[in-house]
Structure 1
């Protein structure tokens, strides 16, 4: 039955959502670190300043701006 097939597929990957969340947190941390290492001229090119980067860098890993 269709419902049982979906359940079986879910049971094979019970931690897929958790792994996806951890990978997103790691990616977000990496992006914040990259922003912190950019020069002021490079930040200006993308419309940011050093204060924006410092504010973003001090956010906790669970404060994902895409999840709001």
Structure 2
């Protein structure tokens, strides 16, 4: 439940689903930015091909 201006709003499953989706998208954005910021040497150290990393980092937030 959320208190809003003297009223109580109950979180519906749809609202929770929307919030979860937006949180997932935000997480993808952060992960892809972090991936894009890694050096070629760092990518090689963790076993990721730099071309694959750039391909992944270039995806839009809604793409899996």
TM-score range, shorter chain: 0.7 to 0.9
Which position in structure 1 is the counterpart of 2:58?
Answer: 58
**For structure 2, which runs of at least 5 residues remain unmatched after alignment?**
1-8
Q: Which has the higher contact order (CA 8 A, sep 6+)?
A: 1
Distance 1:59 1:23 in 2: 17
Which position in structure 1 is the counterpart of 2:34?
Answer: 34
Secondary structure of residue in 1 paired with 2:53: helix
Moved over 3 A (4+): none
Aligned residue pair count: 54
Distance 1:37 1:21 in 2: 24
Q: How does 1:1-68 map to 2 (within 5 A)?
A: 12-14=10-12, 15-64=15-64
TM-score by length of 1: 0.69
**For structure 1, which runs of at least 5 residues remain unmatched after alignment?**
1-10
Secondary structure of residue in 2 paired with 1:18: helix
